[in-house]
Amino acid sequence: MRIAQTRMQVNAKFQKTVDACAATGYNEIVLREFEMDVNTPRFIDEPIEAHFDQPPMLEKKPGCPVAFTWRGETYRIVEMLREWHDYARRGRMARNMQPQHAAAASGRGSWGVGRDYFRVRVESGQVFDIYYDRAPKGSEARKGAWFLYREVSAGDAAGG
């Protein structure tokens, strides 16, 4: 039965809702839309304050923080699930280097260009993608800034 297959794919904490939908005659399309809604990452992209046990050795490559504060609430990181980097130059920055130098810089980064991403699990069990944007935000903020990119469903936590 196709509803049974769909039911197995939906996160366990939403099982009661799926059972209620099936019992009241909701069709498979409604269940599939519900499942997509549950597993879709929640885009946030807001500034956060990153916390470290010790100050990072490299200002432009700080590594994963131990916690972050977003909207006044502190989230303690219990596990870093994944790390990736995007050092591609965009816009005007993409045109100010010779192609062979730009290719090298996209692999290792250059001053003020790129982002370091971290997928982290916090104490509550929530999974977030956070990133450090290496671009200076002005003459007073030359170190870059941290952002909460999105909340990821637990089922998608290991993936990219």
If one compares 29 and 42, the residue with the highest pLDDT of the two is 42
In angstroms, the Cα distances linking 6 to 27, 33, 83, 93 are: 11, 10, 31, 46
Q: What is the pLDDT of residues 84-98, one digit of tens each?
A: 998 876 666 556 656
pLDDT of residue 8: 42
pLDDT of residue 150: 97
**pLDDT over 80 (residue 80):** yes
Total-model pTM: 0.65
**pLDDT over 60 (residue 153):** yes
pLDDT band for position 58 (cuts 50, 70, 90):
confident
CB 134 within 8 A of CB 113: yes
What average pLDDT does the structure give for the chain? 74
Tokens read off for 81: 């699930």
Q: Percentage of residues in the chain with pLDDT exceeding 70?
A: 52
pLDDT of residue 136: 74
CB 42 within 8 A of CB 150: yes
Region 96-117 average pLDDT: 66
Tokens read off for 115: 């982002």
Q: How many CB atoms lie within 10 A of CB 134?
A: 23
What is the Rg, in whole angstroms, of the alpha carbon atoms belonging to the chain? 20
If one compares 32 and 84, the residue with the highest pLDDT of the two is 84
Q: What is the pLDDT of residues 112-152, one digit of tens each?
A: 688 999 999 999 999 999 999 988 766 676 678 999 999 99
Determine whether 118 is exposed, middle or buried from the number of CB atoms within 10 Å of its CB (0-12, 13-18, 19+).
Answer: buried
pLDDT of residue 5: 40
